[in-house]
Each structure stands twice: as C-alpha cells, then as structure tokens.
Amino acid sequence: MNISIVGTGYVGLVTGTCFAELGVNVTCVDTDNQKINRLIYGAIPIYEPGLENMVTRNVNDGRLRFVSDFNKGFDNMDYVFCAIDTMLNADGSTDLTPVLNIARLFGQRIDRYSVFVLKSTVPVGTAQEVKEVIAREIAERGVDVTFDIASNPDFLTEGNAIKDFMKPDRVIVGVETEQAREAMARLYRTILHHIYNHVIYTDTRTAEMIKYAATSMLATRVSFMNEIANLCEIVGADVNTVRHGVGTDSRIGPKYIFPGCGYGGTLFPQDIKDLIKLADGNNFNMEVLKAVDSVNTRQKRILFEKLSRHYGGDLKGKTVALWGLSFKPETDDMSEAPSIVTIDLLMEAGCQIRVYDPVAMNAAKQRWADLYCGIDMYDAVKGADALLLLTEWRQFRIPAWDRIRQLMRTPLIIDGRNIYDRAEVESHGFDYRCIGR
C-alpha cells in the first residue's frame, strides 16, 4: 500500500509519519527543498512530543521518504492525501489556490485508479470543486483513468497528535461512490483495525461540515466558560468550583471548560472564521460563533488589563515577566497565541519585557528581534514588577516561590491559566491575581 502526503506542515508530517509507523509506504511531498533536505536528516520543523524519533526511525527503515518532485510523489500511489496548511484571504475566506493546484497536478499525472483524499481543513463543497478540477485535467489528457475523492478531516491536537492519530475517538470519511468507500475502508481496516468500528462514513459535504462543527463546539465551550469566569470575578464566586460543578454533569463533561486568557493556534480561530464566512455567504447569521470569536478577542487582553489596573493605568518603565509563549503546552506554535496580544500591549505601554518558554522562544525572536528571552524560567523574572503566566507548561506548575520572591522587584503574580493555589502563593508573600476567583 503506497500513500503520498502533499505538505509537510503540522498535519502532513504527523499524518505521514504515523502512517509509516503503521507499516505503510509513505512519500511526503513538499516544494520547499530546504525543508525536505532537513527532514531527510531528521530535523523536523515543528515541536511535537515523540515525532522526531518516529520520523528518524521510519526514514531509516525505508517506509518514509521525503521528496520535492511531484512526479516521484505521485508515481504508483494508491492514495494521495492533500494535507497542506490552508491560509485565509484578505476577506476572511479560505485561499483554496494551493489545494486546487495540487488537484491539477494529480489530474495531470494519475495513470491508474487512485483516491485523492482531502486532509486539509477546507470549506464545505471543496471536495466537489477538486473533483471537477481533476476531471478536467484528465479529460484534456485524453486518457482512460478513473479516480475518486474522499474527505478525511484531521482532528489532531498539538502536543497530543501521535496519540490522536493512533487512537482516535473516530475517523470521519466522506465519499461519493461505493468504490471510494471500499478503498478508504481497506486503508483503515488494514492499519487501524482496532478502531475500525469507529470509522464514520458519510458524503463529502457532511464530512467537511463535521470538522468545522466539532472545532466550533469546543471553542464555544472555552469562550462560554471565560464569560462565566469573568462574571464570577465580579459577583464573588469561584469559577474553579463552578467548573467542577458543571463538568461533573454527565451531559456536559469536564473537557474544554477551563477558563483562561483565551484560545489560539491555527485550528480554532481559522475554522471559526471559515464557518462564519460560509454562513455569511449563504445569507445566514452565525450569531453564537461571532460572539465566541468576539469573547476570545477580548479575553486575550485580560492579563494586560489586570496588570494595568493594578498599577493605576501607568505601566511605563515597568518590567514584566511572561511564562509561556506558545498557545498551549507541548507545542512551539505561537499562532494567534494570547502571548502575542499581551506582548504587543505591553510594548505599547512602554514596558520592559522578559519571557521564557521551553520551546517557543525562537518563534518569538522572529517576531520581536529585541525581546529578552530568559535562559530559564527564573532568569525571566529577575527584577520584574509582575509575572504573567500565559501557558501552563508542566515545569511552571511547581515553581520555587521563595526564589522567585527574591528575584522579583514587586511580588505580583497574574495567573492566566488558574494553575496555582491562592493560599500557597500568598503564603510566600505574593499578591496573586487569576481568572474568575
């Protein structure tokens, strides 16, 4: 069984490597020659626990290869997965140009039955558009060859992607023909036989919508709980206890109801904007999702606003330490991260900023060349008038409070993820602020 994965970004690299780990011959294709050369030697462009070793092992075993030549990438393939990262146009719509270009290349090179699988997150109806593009290319060649389209959206979460692939809650497969269904069933029956009963088959439009609906539901839970947290703070309730009381209801459950300083990443923000754009284009107003997006935009300012209120609105000359830059733990991805908004606001206010993150500081230096990046979490707090926690990395959970108290100029902690116990922090002489309690 031979699979081609087009795109070596987050989704493509994880998907291709995991397929190889399960015994499939995988060719990953990318037009970035430098990236391909680095991947061949095991230097991966993203941080994902366990991925680097898995890439190296499968390259050495001959199941995983990386090429920049589409002829090699499409030759003798049973499945071609389009897993490129999609971007937004200026008007907020998804730019499908790269996806359609890959479809054209597929149509120009296919010489036997193959399935073109859309793994990238794309608007509802894209599979049909891709099918038409491929069919036109084949017709222009005048060859007698058949193909099918499948929509197989990813549900990988950064920091947990390998487990998500190997032990998924479900696999969504959208197809339009029985032959495509059998082909996709054969693929997943062979490599993920232990979850075969969790494969949900539907049509391509429904599969595309499932992806957006799932993402939007999770984002809605996050923004709703942030609203509850902000109200708790006003009325004197404890959001942690509220969250526990709500999450133990079997109809609701405990996941994605942790209040904080907002969500980020490439998944939630882009998918929500895509779905809103789709609705607007069909004269339907997604009022709830627009509110979810608005709440999150506001929530990303909350740590700065708490700090500003503490100092009476004058932050000029203050030294502020930040722990955590990535939008969540176990990733170096700073896309749409609350840290970006916070740092920009602090800079505008005239603050001196010191930061530390276990893996995301290179990304931060690319954005702010003069940003001070600490050699460790304690170096970052030296001389600080406040410490803001933005990402709940494990190493931040049990810090040496007495050491931090000695290093800081002003003992102020603003906990953007509610990971600390107020009584413990205050017992070490700190002024402690958090979200919703």
Single out the residue of 116, 261, 99, 264 nearest to residue 183, CA to CA.
Answer: 116
**In the predicted model, is pLDDT for residue 351 greater than 80?**
yes
Band (90; pLDDT cuts 50, 70, 90): confident
Single out the residue of 217, 218, 241, 219 nearest to residue 229, CA to CA.
Answer: 241
**In the predicted model, is pLDDT for residue 194 greater than 80?**
no
- Specify the pairing of strand 87-88 against strand 94-95: antiparallel
Q: How far apart are CA 20 and CA 55, in angstroms?
A: 9
Of the given ranges (90-99, 101-110, 274-283), which has the lowest mean pLDDT? 90-99
- Specify the pairing of strand 171-175 against strand 147-151: antiparallel
Q: How far apart are CA 197 and CA 219, in angstroms?
A: 28
**In the predicted model, is pLDDT for residue 70 greater than 90?**
no
Please give the average per-residue pLDDT across 403-411, as a whole number: 98
Please give the average per-residue pLDDT across 381-387, as a whole number: 99
Single out the residue of 244, 250, 229, 235 nearest to residue 302, CA to CA.
Answer: 229
Query: 2-202 adopts what CATH topology?
Result: Rossmann fold (3.40.50)
**What's residue 93's pLDDT?**
78
% of the chain with per-residue pLDDT over 90: 89
> Hey, do 2-202 and 212-298 end up sharing a CATH topology, with the first three levels equal?
no
If DSSP codes are grouped into helix, strand and coil, which group holds residue 296?
helix
Q: Does domain 300-433 have CATH number 3.30.300.180?
A: no
**What's residue 196's pLDDT?**
62
Average pLDDT, the chain: 95
**In the predicted model, is pLDDT for residue 106 greater than 70?**
yes
Band (198; pLDDT cuts 50, 70, 90): confident
**What's residue 191's pLDDT?**
76
User: Model pTM greater than 0.75?
Assistant: yes
Please give the average per-residue pLDDT across 353-362, as a whole number: 97
**In the predicted model, is pLDDT for residue 315 greater than 90?**
yes
**In the predicted model, is pLDDT for residue 11 greater than 90?**
yes
Question: Mind listing the pLDDT tens digit for each residue in 290-313?
Answer: 999 999 999 999 999 999 999 999
**In the predicted model, is pLDDT for residue 192 greater than 80?**
no
Band (333; pLDDT cuts 50, 70, 90): very high
| CA 317 distance to own-chain centroid | 35
Query: 212-298 adopts what CATH topology?
Result: N-(1-d-carboxylethyl)-l-norvaline Dehydrogenase; domain 2 (1.10.1040)
Domain spans of the chain? Answer: 2-202, 212-298, 300-433
**In the predicted model, is pLDDT for residue 176 greater than 90?**
yes
Please give the average per-residue pLDDT across 111-137, as a whole number: 96
Of the given ranges (9-13, 68-72, 90-94, 408-412), which has the lowest mean pLDDT? 90-94
Question: Mind listing the pLDDT tens digit for each residue in 223-281?
Answer: 999 999 999 999 999 999 999 999 999 999 999 999 999 999 989 999 999 999 999 99
Which tokens sit at 75? 């030759």
Q: For the chain, report the end-to-end CA distance as a whole number of angstroms.
A: 55
Band (75; pLDDT cuts 50, 70, 90): confident
Q: How far apart are CA 185 and CA 175, in angstroms?
A: 11
